[in-house]
Amino acid sequence: MRFLLSEYINLLKEDKELDALLTDLLVGMKFTTISKPMKGRQFGVDISAVGIDPEDGIKKVFLFAVKQGNLTRTTWDGDVNAIRSTLNQIKDTFIPTSLTNRLKKLPKKIIVCTNGVINQNVLVDWTQYIDQNTTDAVEYDFWGTGEITAMLDDYLVSEKLFPQEYQSLLRKSLAFLDLPDYDLSHFYTLIQKILDKQPKQKRQILKKLRLVRLCLNIIYKWSQDNNNLKPSIYASERCLLLVWHFMQEGNHLEKNYVRQEFYKIHLLKRAIGVNYFNKVVEHYKVEHSIYKYSRNSLEYSLNVWEEIGIIATIGLTEIQEFRIYYNEGQKKQADVYYKSAVSISNALGLFIQNNPPLKYPEYDVHSVEIALALNLLNFTRNFNPAKKWISEMTLGFNNRYKINKLFPLFRKNYDKLVDIHNGDEDCEIQSSMIVPILAEYALIFDEEELYQFVRKITTELFTELNLQIWFPLEEMEDKICIQDYSHGEGTSKHSLILYEDAEEYKKEVLAEIDLFGPEKNFKIFAHGFDIIAHVASRHYKSQPFPLTWRVMLK
């Protein structure tokens, strides 16, 4: 946390940013402010306050001269606004003329505050000055980035680190964070506001990206304190997506310093995911372990489908890291991430095995979780659990309808789903996007027998079922990170036929990759950051990109 704070503080301007943050810090330290920052200098003093010095426990008058950047030879003694001149002005003019008689009786501490450090070539000059001017009544100190960061971490409430317009949103986010049904709406609005405008200066761009990372880290820390990491999982997904949109919209993708900041956010998201996985992985090995966190069997079913999407995305993030290091020729480091992905994939297989509702999708949009999970199982060569799961889901379509008259709802509607489960409403068999995914993965695994088994859903069980597959359009690229991009967007192929000849179906799929696959030119894929597609699909419950699995049929 302190490292993040120091990175953020380094970007603050002297006027209205660093001095405003220091004022809030003094309040956190229980100092009484005498004067706050104003336009124009008051004989060298930007902020004055009275409080107990934490170093020796003595009540003193604190006089702050706020500067930006490192203390260099130029800023030390370059002109009338240099730090040495400022210190002389405080000692010779401010203290004798601007303090009341009561305050004059207290010891004074003059502090130079900067969001930087003292350069080595100025350290001797600084030390000599304070040695020559320190008396029983007046002493000196320097607060650089390191000192300010440590005190912020010790004394200041998290939301006070931010400008006034953001404080309320962060405060509400933290206040509601421990509520089980909180949707993080205030946090999402906060991140949108931070990234709302496109600055031109490098410093302002960096400031925005580091502020996003700082906000996410605060949510992460509070989630840890609440012993519930799931909100930080959702928050990290939204941050990653909105930052990518900010980069793409502002044409920043080619800027190395921007990519580095984005990658740091990606790594923070990865750390949150790995921490979450390590915390809950033992539950995946126990049958029905998620049921005790659910109020009824329907909620249990929806919870396990939500969970499988989270597990798969965490594992696919490890695959993303594996690819990055592998493409850079760092095979040893790449192998570490691949082994991590395999561990997560194995846990995913156990989770599917130990939670029977995963054989029976409630909504057709569970195609999102199915595609993510099969992607991870395939990348990690975990074929047997994947093939078994496809077979069980295929059988589940038949058994569940014959026994309970249930079939995955094509349009997500919780109230209708409850009524169907209660027997108050009949389930309509309309369309399915799940079935084509199962069939195509059977072909990816080179299992024609499994393909034919899936095919029976439409040829023997539900002959009127309309199979569909969704395709993105080229103009959708700017939307995938900010909304449910598949709702009313893109195009769908209706009345899809699973041919008896599997090779004939394969040929059709390969032709469609070229005809209906504009996403292969999307920047997320062109820049090798496929994880954005997976995260966007899971986070917004949007249809998965067919290219992410169909390319494996080539």
Beta-ladder partners of 139: 109
Q: What is the pLDDT of residue 255?
A: 94
Give me the DSSP letters along 394-448: HHHHHHHHHHH----BSS--HHHHHHHHTTSSPPP--EESHHHHHHHHHHHTT-H
The helix/strand/coil state of 33 is strand
pLDDT band at 541 (very low <50, low <70, confident <90, very high): very high
What is the average pLDDT across 167-184? 89
How many angstroms separate the Cα of 223 from the Cα of each of 234, 311, 316?
11, 18, 23
Mean pLDDT of 223-229: 89
> 76 with 122: CB under 8 angstroms?
yes
Q: What is the pLDDT of residue 137?
A: 92
> Where are the chain's structural domains?
2-156, 162-284, 360-554
Instruction: Tell me what pLDDT residue 293 has.
Output: 82
Q: How confident is the model at residue 152 (pLDDT cuts 50, 70, 90)?
A: confident
Least confident of 32-46, 291-305, 428-442, 529-543: 32-46
Give the global pTM.
0.80
Q: What is the pLDDT of residue 20?
A: 76
pLDDT of residue 81: 80
Q: Per-residue pLDDT averaged across 412-440, rounded?
A: 92
Q: How far is CA 159 from CA 5, 32, 39, 178, 201, in A?
A: 12, 20, 25, 17, 25
Q: What is the pLDDT of residue 79?
A: 76
State pLDDT tens for residues 393-413. 999 999 999 888 899 999 999
Among 2-6, 201-205, 477-481, 488-492, the range with the most confident prediction by mean pLDDT is: 477-481
Which pLDDT tens digit goes with each residue over 26-50?
888 889 988 877 665 578 899 999 9
pLDDT digits (tens, 9 = 90+) for 330-378: 999 999 999 999 999 999 999 999 999 999 999 999 999 999 999 999 9
Q: Give me the pLDDT at residue 127, please.
A: 94
- State residue 3's pLDDT score: 64
Q: Is pLDDT above 70 for 1?
A: no
Tell me how far the alpha carbon of residue 34 is from its chain's centroid: 40
pLDDT of residue 68: 86
* Class of domain 2-156 (CATH, top level): alpha beta
What percent of the chain clears pLDDT 70, i.e. is strictly above it?
96
Instruction: Give residue for tokens 């993965």.
Output: 441
User: Tens of pLDDT along 104-140?
Assistant: 999 999 999 998 899 999 999 999 999 999 999 999 9
Tokens 């992985």 locate to: 281
Q: Are 143 and 112 in contact (CB under 8 A)?
A: yes
Note the pLDDT of residue 41.
Answer: 54
